[in-house]
């Protein structure tokens, strides 16, 4: 009997799963339901379209024949409204039922909404999709001053993109430095200095109370401390939250994301989740965690696809990791970046006199569980591999900090 596979979400986790299933099962029916109608595209690159360094077609990561070549039935421009777990079907617009034997939830995440007055004014945007960026670009003409809320990946990329477009930018962040979820205070201070040097107006410890406008268009942001920032364009980048409104929580256990085991299966047999919507065991933190990043979505989609198609594959766990190039500064981080001061961790660091290099390694027992590299990032992949493999470090830890480190130094 041919199996019915249904995948919700045509982001990277969904398409990786679809391709993987098709490689392993030539006869099963694959249906991919997604509310975005574009060809599969690279979400992290939308900030480059904002910046103007690439055009929209360059975001595409699969060709126009993708669905046909993989014998996938696409249902695009539709949102899944509910899952009938016992009836083995998902419900889309107009009450239409799409039956499944195996289901993958790969719906990604939505921008975290903010609570502030005046959000209905024009030119206030979120930045999650191609269409968001298209809308921003439509309103960018005549924009002279932008305010970006949030110093996470999205806010940070939006601010840099607008700056490169020649728009003045104020970046308002609640914490003491940008990317506070990704880097420690020392690396954060280096990033902050670099951004300011490049002309970005970064305000730390800032929170917005509301927006004020004229003729329906935003004109300024009012800060909680009483200050004001003039702006005619606003981007809200205050993080994301898993897109799982339609998931029946009494049937499919959910924490922050949908809980999955090492095979990406949820608490409901035959129903899987992957990508930004899923919460799996985190290798470095040794607890469940939503790591909403591209490389995790790719791998989780593949692992889910294999298991759905009947090939038993276990996922060793997720790992937060990011690499960011900020003008002339490179930052790469993974795993535990700022460990709790509870005696479980050992931290070693190195800096150069010129203030260009910073390296920090975090160990727990005899394993590497995290690192931060500012510049000289070429060997970061070896360290990522060390964390993910949980390989006990038998050599001198200091040796790993050396700028000329290479993997031969790890050999037993």
Partner 1 sequence: MKKVVVNPQRCVGCMQCMIACATAHSRTQSLFTAALETPTPKPRVHVGAGLCGDGFPNRCRHCDPAPCMLACLPGAIHRDPELDTVRIDPDRCINCASCAMACPFGVIRYHVDPLGPPGKTVAVKCDNCVDRRREGRIPACVEVCKSGALTFEEMGAAMKRQTDAVARSVASEVEGKPAIPAGVALHRALRRASWEMNQERKENSHEG
Ligand X SMILES: Cc1cc2nc3c(=O)[nH]c(=O)nc-3n(C[C@H](O)[C@H](O)[C@H](O)COP(=O)(O)OP(=O)(O)OC[C@H]3O[C@@H](n4cnc5c(N)ncnc54)[C@H](O)[C@@H]3O)c2cc1C
Binding stretches for ligand X (CB under 6 A): 8-14, 33-36, 43-44, 46-47, 79-80, 106-109, 127-128, 153-154, 157, 243, 246, 275-276, 292-295, 297, 322
- Which of partner 1, ligand X, none lies near 79, with the C-beta cut-off 5 to 8 A by kind? ligand X
- Please check whether residue 47 is in contact with residue 160, taking contact to mean a CB–CB distance below 8 angstroms: yes
DSSP state of 152: S
**Chosen from partner 1, ligand X, none, partner binding at 142 (C-beta under 5 to 8 Å by type):** none
Pairing of strands 329-335, 321-326: antiparallel
Q: Residues, the chain, total? A: 412
> What tokens appear for 252 in the block?
């499919």
CB nearer partner 1, residue 270 or residue 316? 316
CB-wise, 118 or 152, nearer to ligand X? 152
In angstroms, give the least distance from the CB of 276 to partner 1.
15
Residue number with CB closer to ligand X (220 or 307): 307
Question: Shortest approach of partner 1 to residue 306 CB, angstroms?
Answer: 8
Contact 237, 109 (CB under 8 A): no
Burial 63-94 (b: 16+ CB within 10 A, else e): eeebbeebebebbeebebeebebeebbbbbee
CB-based contact 128:110 (threshold 8 Å): yes
DSSP state, 199? Answer: T
Helix axes 12-24, 294-308, angle to 10 degrees: 30
Closest CA to 109 of 11, 247, 181, 183: 11
Least Cβ distance, residue 290 to partner 1 (angstroms):
17
Residue 192: phi, psi to the nearest 5? -60, -45
Compute the least distance from the CB of residue 237 to ligand X, in Å.
Answer: 8
Measured distance CA(53)–CA(366) in Å, rounded: 44
Scan for tokens 């699969």, then name that residue. 62
**Cβ closest to partner 1, residue 37 vs residue 389:** 389
Q: Could you say which of ligand X, partner 1, none residue 157 binds, taking C-beta under 5 to 8 angstroms by partner kind?
A: ligand X
Tell me which residues touch partner 1 (CB under 8 A).
42, 44-45, 48, 54, 58-59, 61, 261-263, 294-295, 298-299, 302-303, 306, 311-316, 321-323, 325, 330, 332, 334, 377-382, 384-385, 388-391, 404, 406-412
Choice between 16 and 123, CB closer to ligand X: 16
Closest distance to ligand X from the beta carbon of 231 (Å): 19
Q: What SS3 class is residue 131?
A: helix
Between CA 129 and CA 343 the distance in angstroms is 42
DSSP structure string for 208-224 = EEEEEEETTEEEEEEET
- Which residues, listed in sequence order, are joined to residue 60 by a DSSP beta bridge? 41
For residue 302, the partner it binds in partner 1, ligand X, none, with Cβ less than 5 to 8 A by kind, is partner 1
Closest to 144 in 3D by CA, of 167, 112, 121: 167
Q: Looking at residue 93, what DSSP letter applies?
A: G
Among partner 1, ligand X, none, what does residue 33 contact (CB within 5–8 Å per kind)?
ligand X
In whole angstroms, the minimum distance from the beta carbon of 200 to partner 1 comes to: 20
Closest separation between CB of residue 407 and ligand X, Å? Answer: 23
Q: 200 or 400: whose CB is closer to ligand X?
A: 200
- Residue 154 interacts with which of partner 1, ligand X, none, CB < 5 to 8 Å by class: ligand X
State the binding partner of 213 from partner 1, ligand X, none, CB within 5 to 8 A by kind. none
If 0-12 CB within 10 Å is exposed, 13-18 middle and 19+ buried, where does residue 341 land? exposed
- 29's contact among partner 1, ligand X, none, with CB below 5 to 8 A by partner kind, is none
Nearer to partner 1, 12 or 92 (CB): 12
Give the nearer residue to ligand X in terms of CB position, either 123 or 129: 129
Nearer to ligand X, 18 or 400 (CB): 18
State the nearest-atom distance from the C-beta of 53 to partner 1, in Å. 8
In the complex, least distance from residue 375 CB atom to ligand X, rounded to whole angstroms: 18
């Amino acid at each position: 009997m041919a199996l019915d596979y249904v995948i919700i979400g045509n982001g990277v986790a969904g398409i990786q799963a679809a391709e993987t299933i098709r490689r392993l099962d030539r006869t099963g029916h694959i249906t991919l339901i997604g509310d975005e109608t574009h060809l599969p595209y690279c979400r992290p690159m939308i900030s480059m379209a904002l910046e103007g360094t690439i055009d929209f077609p360059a975001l595409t990561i699969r060709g126009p024949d993708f669905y046909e070549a993989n014998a996938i039935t696409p249902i695009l421009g539709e949102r899944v409204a509910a899952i009938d777990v016992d009836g083995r079907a998902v419900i889309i617009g107009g009450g239409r039922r799409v039956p499944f034997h195996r289901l993958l939830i790969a719906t990604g995440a939505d921008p975290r909404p903010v609570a502030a007055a005046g959000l209905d004014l024009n030119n206030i945007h979120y930045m999650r999709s191609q269409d968001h960026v298209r809308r921003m670009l439509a309103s960018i003409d005549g924009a002279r001053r932008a305010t970006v809320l949030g110093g996470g990946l999205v806010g940070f990329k939006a601010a840099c993109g607008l700056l490169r477009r020649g728009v003045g930018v104020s970046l308002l962040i609640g914490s003491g430095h940008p990317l506070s979820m990704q880097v420690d205070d020392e690396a954060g201070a280096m990033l902050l200095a670099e951004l300011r040097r490049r002309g970005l107006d970064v305000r730390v410890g800032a929170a917005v109370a509301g927006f004020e406008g004229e003729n329906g268009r935003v004109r300024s942001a009012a800060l909680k401390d009483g200050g004001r920032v003039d702006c005619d364009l606003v981007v809200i980048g205050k993080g994301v939250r898993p897109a799982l409104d339609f998931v029946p929580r009494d049937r499919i256990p959910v924490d922050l994301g949908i809980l999955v085991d090492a095979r990406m299966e949820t608490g409901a047999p035959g129903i899987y989740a992957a990508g930004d919507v899923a919460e799996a065991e985190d290798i470095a933190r040794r607890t469940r965690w939503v790591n909403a990043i591209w490389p995790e979505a790719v791998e989780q989609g593949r692992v889910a696809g294999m298991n759905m198609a009947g090939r038993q594959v276990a996922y060793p766990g997720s790992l937060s990791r990011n690499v960011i190039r900020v003008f002339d500064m490179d930052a790469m981080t993974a795993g535990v970046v700022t460990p709790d001061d509870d005696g479980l961790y050992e931290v070693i660091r190195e800096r150069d006199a010129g203030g260009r290099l910073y390296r920090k390694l975090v160990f727990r027992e005899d394993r590497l569980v995290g690192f931060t590299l500012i510049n000289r990032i070429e060997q970061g992949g070896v360290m990522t591999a060390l964390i993910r493999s949980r390989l006990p470090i038998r050599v001198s830890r200091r040796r790993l900090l050396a700028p000329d480190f290479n993997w031969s130094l790890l050999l037993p």
